[in-house]
């Protein structure tokens, strides 16, 4: 049984990715970050999802990205309401956190190397979040290339590392439909950028609106707990 | 005046790199990590070096790599005495910390993006440490490639990021000679993997032996404070 590290934020996407990795037969290790996000209730959601999925190990790493500043997700800047993405000229949302996915994947690489894992699963998605540079396929491919030059596992032990982004080309509707088939309980997940301490969603931010539309497109009831 | 982020461990190499970056006219931001290393006195050294060099900002980030385990530098495994590297078949030392440079550079990327810096200076060196995969030029090149796909700065604002590793092909002797020319006070630096709390070196580990040889090769007195 091969081992995989799964980045688990506690949101809809990463919960689905964990289900996909388990469905593919991987022994899964979950990795979450307390990175100074205002919506810290997603960490509680991640712990609940990991426990429910009976992963071999769930590590929550404390990293303080507030030390650098630069994002609405880690500062006092209010979370903006949803704005329709301009497909002609997509702007990067202010909820972008500088180099966040690079940092998350780097920790996943360390965890994977120590655990002799050969896969890192990540729930990035180019369709709904085309505004984030570190959610695109070319970024994931470049990270994989770098990862296979970075570690003792890859260079001395011949363990090639693959970064798997199974949601990359899926719509939110397709994701929630697949996850439901795999038994994901989306009422446990927290996607909202502005969730309260009880994990209840605001219903107005980008993440909430895209998530709600996903359930609508999939013809599924929306199990989100709104504030 | 362009801005550069300089990874500053507090050792001989990174102190030299900081001097090089300042000599090249960059406004320097220093970045250090408290990562669970046993030789934490190098952090005190980094703070002293940064203050002496009058950098614009010095950020020390707390990251706990012990959560994953896997290296003598972050565990109770005793630091081994120096062994001559087998050039035919170099083995990766047990002092290798899984994915450490990847993680350090990822944080530097975040710091650089927030600060609109266009360079990240790092003191990796392929000559003395050919055993570490993440000190090789091909790793640095792959990281730079990835970094330029990862950030808003690179993809939307057109700020190309360059990872500068000026010591890559230099011997320890050449490094200490150059640093001395640039006014680096090596008595402030701590390179030892097993330094005590006062920053005094063991004189026996890989890092100590290579450093002492460097001063010898350069024909310089060794200013290291030994225990």
Q: Tens of pLDDT along A99-142? A: 889 999 999 999 999 889 999 999 998 876 557 888 899 999 99
pLDDT at A44: 93
Based on its alpha-carbon atoms, the radius of gyration of chain B, rounded to whole angstroms, reads 17
Closest CA to A113 of B97, B91, B131, B98: B98
Chain A contact present for B131, CB below 8 A: no
Closest residue to B106, CB basis, from A102, A133, A139: A102
Strand partners, B162: B119
What's the confidence (pLDDT) of residue B93?
60
Task: Tell me which residue in B67, B99, B115 faces A109 most closely, judged by beta carbons.
Answer: B99
Contact status of A33 with chain B (Cβ, < 8 Å): no
- Test B146 with A149 for CB contact under 8 angstroms: no
Q: What's the CA gap between A177 and A183, in Å, rounded?
A: 10
What is the total count of domains within chain A? Answer: 1
Question: Residue B157 has what DSSP assignment?
Answer: S
Does any domain span residue A33? yes
Strand partners, B7: B31
Reference B200, options B166, B169, B224; nearest CA is B224
CB–CB of A212/A82 below 8 Å?
no
Domain extent for A160: 3-218
Does B64 fall in a domain? yes
Mutation for testing the A interface, residue in B143, B158, B159 having most A CBs under 10 Å: B143
In a domain, A184, yes or no: yes
For chain A, what percent of residues have pLDDT higher than 70? 85
Decide if A150 and B156 are in contact by the 8 Å CB cutoff.
Answer: no
- Indicate whether A94 belongs to any domain: yes
Q: Is B221 exposed, middle or buried (0-12, 13-18, 19+ CB in 10 A)?
A: exposed
pTM for the structure as a whole: 0.89
Q: Which of residues 144-173 of A touch B (CB under 8 A)?
A: 145-147, 149-156
Report the CATH number at residue A95: 3.40.50.620
Instruction: Give ipTM to 2 decimals.
Output: 0.87
A95 close to A128: Cβ distance less than 8 angstroms: no
Per-residue pLDDT at A69: 62
Give domain status of residue B86, yes or no: yes
A99: left (phi over 0), alpha (psi -120 to 50) or beta: left
- pLDDT tens digits for B43-99? 999 999 999 999 999 999 988 777 776 555 555 555 566 656 555 555 556 566 788
- What b/e string do you get for A164-203 counting C-beta neighbours within 10 Å, with b at 16 or more? bbbbbebbbbbbbbbbbeeebebebbbbbbbbeeebbbbb
State what percent of residues in chain B have pLDDT above 70: 85
Beta carbons of A63 and B63 less than 8 Å apart: yes
Which strands make up the sheet holding A57-62, listed edge to edge? A57-62, A27-34, A3-7, A119-121, A162-164
Position B224 in a domain: no
pLDDT value of residue B10: 94
Q: Provide, as residue numbers in chain A, all residues whose Cβ is less than 8 Å from the Cβ of B149.
A: 133-134, 136, 138-139, 142
Query: What is the predicted pLDDT for the residue at A126?
Result: 81
Residue B227 lies in a domain: no
What is the 8-class DSSP label of residue A186?
Answer: G
Under the banding of pLDDT at 50, 70 and 90, the label for residue A71 is: low
pLDDT by residue, tens only, chain B of 227 residues: 899 999 999 999 999 999 999 999 999 999 999 887 767 788 999 999 999 999 999 999 988 777 776 555 555 555 566 656 555 555 556 566 788 899 999 999 999 998 899 999 999 988 765 678 888 999 999 999 999 999 888 888 888 999 999 999 999 999 999 999 999 999 999 989 889 988 899 999 888 999 999 999 999 999 999 99
Tell whether A202 is covered by a domain: yes
């Amino acid at each position: 049984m091969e081992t995989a590290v799964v980045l688990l934020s506690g949101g809809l996407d990463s919960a689905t990715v964990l289900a996909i990795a388990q469905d593919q037969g991987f022994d899964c290790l979950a990795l979450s970050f307390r990175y100074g996000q205002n919506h810290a209730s997603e960490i509680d959601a991640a712990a609940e999802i990991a426990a429910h999925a009976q992963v071999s190990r769930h590590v929550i790493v404390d990293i303080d990205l507030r030390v650098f500043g630069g994002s609405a997700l880690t500062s006092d800047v209010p979370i903006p309401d949803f704005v329709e993405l301009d497909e002609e000229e997509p702007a990067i949302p202010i909820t972008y956190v500088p180099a966040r996915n690079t940092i998350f994947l780097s920790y996943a690489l360390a965890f994977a190397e120590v655990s002799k894992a050969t896969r890192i699963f990540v729930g990035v998605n180019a369709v709904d979040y085309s505004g984030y540079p570190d959610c695109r396929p070319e970024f994931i491919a470049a990270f994989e290339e770098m990862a296979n030059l970075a570690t003792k596992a890859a260079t001395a032990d011949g363990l090639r590392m693959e970064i798997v982004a199974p949601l990359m080309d899926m719509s939110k509707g397709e994701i929630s439909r697949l996850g439901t088939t795999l038994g994901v309980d989306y009422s446990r997940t927290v996607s909202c950028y502005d969730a309260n301490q009880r994990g209840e969603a605001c219903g107005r931010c980008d993440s909430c609106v895209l998530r709600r539309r996903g359930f609508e497109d999939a013809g599924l009831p929306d199990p989100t707990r709104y504030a």
